[in-house]
Structure formats: C-alpha cells, structure tokens
C-alpha cells in the first residue's frame, strides 16, 4: 500500500503543478495516470505544439512545459503510478481514502485531488468483431514495456507518431521483424520519423504496407494471423506474435464516473467559491476535469485551482495547525 498525503489522479500539467503547491506546505503527493508517461494531453495529443498563454513564456512547446514542471516538482520527490487507471475508491476506518488501480496497486491518503483532464486516455480500437478474444494474448494498444517485444514478429497499425516511433524503435533495438500497416499513403507523424521509416523500409528493416488495413484476425499455429486488405481489394495474411493497433487514444471519463461524484456534462461539479471541493469531503477536482459557473478550460486556470485547493487540503489534514502563506522568494524551496 502506497501511503501519501494527497493522491493526485492525472499527471498532466495541473496534476504536476499540484505537487509543487502541496510541497510548499510540506504535503507529499503521489500521482496516478493511465498513460505510461507524465504530461496528459500535452504529452499524448500535442507535444510539439506551442502554447502561448503560460504566464512568463511567450511561447513554449507542450512537451517542454511538462519537462519544466517535472524539474520544478523534483525537490518534492513525488511518487508515480503510471500506465494504470485509478479504478476503485474506498474509505477505511481511519477516514483515509484507498484508491486502487486497474492493475491492483493500492494507494492511501486523507485527500484526493482529481486532475484528470478530459478523462482516461482510452485506446481507439479498430472495428474488428472478435478483437477481444485475442486482446490478452496478442494485442497491445499502448506500449508500456518495450522489452517484452524483443525478438518477436510484430505488426504495428497506424500512421501517427506512436505507430512510427515504435516501429522505428523495435526495428532499431531488437525486433526480429516489424510490419507497419497504414490505411493511407500519408503519415501524420513527424517528418523526420517518416523519412527514417522509409529509409528503414529500403534497407529491409521494416516492411511498410500502405493503403491497407487489417480486416480479420484469427489464431493459427500459435500465432496471430492478420488478414490485410488493400484499397484495391487485394488481400494478404501476415502471421505475428503481437499486433499493436496504435490509432491514438481518446479520453473518456472512466471509472471515476462511478465514484459517487456529482457529474455534469462529463465534468465534476466543484465549489469554486472556496476550494474546488467536490460533493465528497476530502476529494477535490481541479483543471479541465471540473466544472463551475464561468469555468475556463485553461492550463493557467488549473494552476490557480491547484494553489487554492492545497490550502484547503492542508486544513483537512491538519485541522489544528494554522498555515501562513509563505513566498518562495523569501523562503526558497525546501524539498523532502
């Protein structure tokens, strides 16, 4: 059981900055995120895009903002449970919350801050009828541990950055054979990756199949057999150890929708007049995941909400202590 002061659900910019604000009050945080890396939307959807409304930065790439936030919170030594979805919520006899993930990791704390953005990033699955029969054994929608694909026959589907980047990674590092199947002839991945993949294809390190998609799947002689159809209706079958359909992730509110929180239009209702608390005492919601009258879904508004929220969390955790606001310019950063 992981014990902390604040369990933060969501490791996007607002979840990360909460660690900083909590750290100034000597509160320890542990973050849970369904994605295998921190950053939320900034990492998954638009890492290379500039953001222009972060105070003090006329322009900053989303991935760089995450890098800087990680650096900023480092002194406060936060814990991370990544690649796991916060699944169930319980309260124990000592009035502490227990959050258990989809993989069974348990976390315990007196306060929860939900900074879940638009929700849990859930894989977009191709429309193939019997997909779920083979998911456990052969299919991966997110690469969490690349080493499990070492020396395997891998087929990757998709035309975005993750499809290209992983195809290149496996071909370069260890896979015995990599097929990349894409529905069109244009990739939406970064130009450098596309160029590199084309060069790899020329060298025979990756087999690229364009204008095609997997139509059917079945098991054959202990391998997954993919029936691939091209736009001009030619079919071919490819046997593989693993199939990675990487068609991107789309956010869904996910299991926290069943926690008894008051939800309005896919967002958690909070009290914005005081501290962004939800209808469950001890649980707060900040950033894009919450809603209130006049809500703006901006990173900078989430940062503000985090600062206010941790003050309330402090009072909840230490009801008999009086907290005085300290300025970092005066006291500096004292980590732990």
Residues binding other proteins (CB under 8 A): 41, 45-46, 49, 118, 124, 126-127, 158-160, 182-184, 186-188, 213, 247-248, 250-251, 265
Tell me if 143 sits within 8 A of 229, measured CB to CB: no
Q: Which is nearer to other proteins, 126 or 282 (CB)?
A: 126
In this complex, which beta carbon is closest to other proteins, that of residue 248 or of residue 257?
A: 248
The candidate with the shortest Cα–Cα distance to 86, out of 135, 121, 110, 44, is 121
Q: How far is the CB of 187 from other proteins (least distance, A)?
A: 7
What is the nearest approach in angstroms of other proteins to the Cβ of residue 192?
15
Give 272's contacts (C-beta < 8 A, 6+ positions apart).
290, 292, 293, 294, 295
Which residues are CB-contacts of 286 (< 8 A; sequence separation ≥ 6)?
14, 18, 113, 114, 115, 270, 276, 302, 305, 306, 309
CB of 115 to other proteins, least distance (A): 17
Nearer to other proteins, 187 or 284 (CB): 187
Pairing relationship of beta strands 153-157 and 242-245 according to DSSP bridges: parallel
For the bound state, the minimum distance from the C-beta of residue 326 to other proteins, rounded and expressed in Å, comes to: 35
Are the C-beta atoms of 149 and 176 separated by less than 8 Å? no
Q: Residue 114 in contact with residue 280, Cβ under 8 Å?
A: no
Calculated CA dihedral for residues 144, 148, 149, 152, nearest 10 degrees: -160
Q: How far apart are the first and last CA of the chain?
A: 20
Q: Which is nearer to other proteins, 185 or 281 (CB)?
A: 185
Q: Which residue's CB is nearer to other proteins, number 41 or number 85? A: 41
Q: Nearer to other proteins by C-beta: 236 or 266?
A: 266
Phi, psi of 304 (to 5 degrees): -60, -45
Q: What's the CA gap between 147 and 172, in Å, rounded?
A: 13
Closest CB to other proteins among 49 and 202? 49
Toward other proteins, which CB reaches closer, 21 or 288? 288
CB of 45 to other proteins, least distance (A): 5
Bridge partners (DSSP) of residue 195 are none
Contacts of the segment 264-270: beta carbons below 8 A, 24+ positions apart: 264/291, 265/291, 266/118, 266/119, 267/291, 267/295, 268/114
- Considering the complex, what minimum distance in angstroms separates the CB of residue 146 from other proteins? 22
CA 335 to chain centre: 26
Residue with tokens 């059981």: 1
Q: Which helix (H) or strand (E) holds 242?
A: strand 242-245
Minimum CB–partner distance for residue 189 and other proteins (Å)? 8
For other proteins, the closer of residues 188 and 316 by Cβ is 188
- Give me the least distance between CB of 42 and other proteins, in Å please: 11
CB of 41 to other proteins, least distance (A): 8
Q: How far are the Cα atoms of 13, 119, 173, 178 from residue 199, in angstroms, in the given order?
A: 36, 38, 16, 14
């Amino acid at each position: 059981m992981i014990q902390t002061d604040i369990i933060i659900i969501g490791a996007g910019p607002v979840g990360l900055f909460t660690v900083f604000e909590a750290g100034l009050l000597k509160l320890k945080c542990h973050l849970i995120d369904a994605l295998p890396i921190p950053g939320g939307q900034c990492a998954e959807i638009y890492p290379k895009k500039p953001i222009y409304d972060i105070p003090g930065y006329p322009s900053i790439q989303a991935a760089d903002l995450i890098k800087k936030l990680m650096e900023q919170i480092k002194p406060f030594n936060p814990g991370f449970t990544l690649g796991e979805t916060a699944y169930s919520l319980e309260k124990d006899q000592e009035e502490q919350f227990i959050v258990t993930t989809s993989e069974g990791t348990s976390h315990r704390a007196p306060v929860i801050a939900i900074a879940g953005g638009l929700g849990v990033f859930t894989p977009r699955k191709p429309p193939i009828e019997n997909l779920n029969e083979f998911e456990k054994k052969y299919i991966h929608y997110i690469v969490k541990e690349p080493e499990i694909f070492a020396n395997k026959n891998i087929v990757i589907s998709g035309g975005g950055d993750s499809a290209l980047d992983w195809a290149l990674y496996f071909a370069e590092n260890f896979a015995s054979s990599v097929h990349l199947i894409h529905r069109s002839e244009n990739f939406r991945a970064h130009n450098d990756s596309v160029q590199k993949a084309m060069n790899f294809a020329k060298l025979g390190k990756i087999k690229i199949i364009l204008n095609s998609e997997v139509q059917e799947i079945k098991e054959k002689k202990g391998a997954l057999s993919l029936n691939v159809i091209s736009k001009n209706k030619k079919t071919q079958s490819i046997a593989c150890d693993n199939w990675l359909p990487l068609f991107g992730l789309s956010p869904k509110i996910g299991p926290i929708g069943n926690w008894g929180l008051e939800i309005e239009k896919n967002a958690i209702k909070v009290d914005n007049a005081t501290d962004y608390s939800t209808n469950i005492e001890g649980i707060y919601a900040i950033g894009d995941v919450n809603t209130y009258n006049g809500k703006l879904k901006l990173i900078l508004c989430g940062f503000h909400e985090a600062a206010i929220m941790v003050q309330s969390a402090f009072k909840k955790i230490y009801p008999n202590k009086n907290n005085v606001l300290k300025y970092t310019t005066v006291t500096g950063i004292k980590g732990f």
